[in-house]
Amino acid sequence: MHRSLAGEVGKGMIRDVPVAEPVRTAGSRVIQGLLFVGGAGLLEFSAGADRIAFYWTPLIIGIIYLLAAIIDGPRGGYWATALGLTGWGLAVAYMGAVRPADVDVAGAYLVGVGFAGLAAALLRVRGFAISEAGLALTIVGAGAILALSLRTEAFVDATTYAVAVGTVGVLNVAGGAWQLAAGPPPAEQAKSD
C-alpha cells in the first residue's frame, strides 16, 4: 500500500518511521575512502585548477558524498551530507551557469536546500538512515561558509575543499584498514562460532 508523503507529514507520522541504525563495514569504508580521495583529485584538477568555474564545487562534493552513501545502501552513512550538498549544489550550479536576472540567489539556494529536505523525508519514509541533525548541520555549515566567503579567501578556493574531501578519504581508508586488520568485533565473531 502506497501512502503519500503529504498524508504522512499531515498525520505527523514521519517521525514514527522506524529507521535502522547505520551500518558501515570495514570494506565499504575503504572503498568510500578511495572514492573520496579520487573525488578530491577530480575537484582539485577541475575547479581547483580553474578549468571549470568554482560554483560547481558544492555540486561536485555533493555527488562525491552521494556516491559514498550509495556504497553503503539505505542504512549507510553520508546520506544527510550527500542530500544537503547536492540540493544546495544544484542551486549554486544553476545560478552560476545560467545567471537568471529575474531569480534571487538567496531564494534559489533556499529552494535547493528545501528540495534536499524533501528528498531526505521521502527517503526516510522508505527506511533510509538519514539524520535530521546531520542534514541541518550540513546546511548550517554550508551557509556559514557561504556567508563568510567574502571575508575568507580560502572559502572560495576549491583546493580547500579538495583537501577536506581528501582528508575524509584518507581517514576512511585508514579506519577501514584498521577494522579489517583487527577482524570482526567479538559479538560478530561469537555469532559465527
pLDDT tens per residue across span 163-172:
999 999 999 9
143-155 pLDDT per residue, tens: 999 999 999 999 9
Of 40, 24, 48, 9, the residue nearest 129 (C-alpha):
24
Three-class SS of 117-154: HHHHHHHHHCCCCCCHHHHHHHHHHHHHHHHHCCCCHH
Burial class of 52 by CB neighbour count within 10 A (0 to 12, 13 to 18, 19+): middle
Radius of gyration of the chain (CA): 19
Question: What is the residue-averaged pLDDT of the chain?
Answer: 88
Give residue limits of the domains in the chain. Answer: 22-180
φ, ψ for residue 129, nearest 5 deg: -85, 90
In this prediction, residue 9 carries a pLDDT of 46
Which pLDDT does position 44 carry in this prediction? 95
Q: Mind listing the pLDDT tens digit for each residue in 54-80?
A: 999 999 999 999 999 999 999 888 999
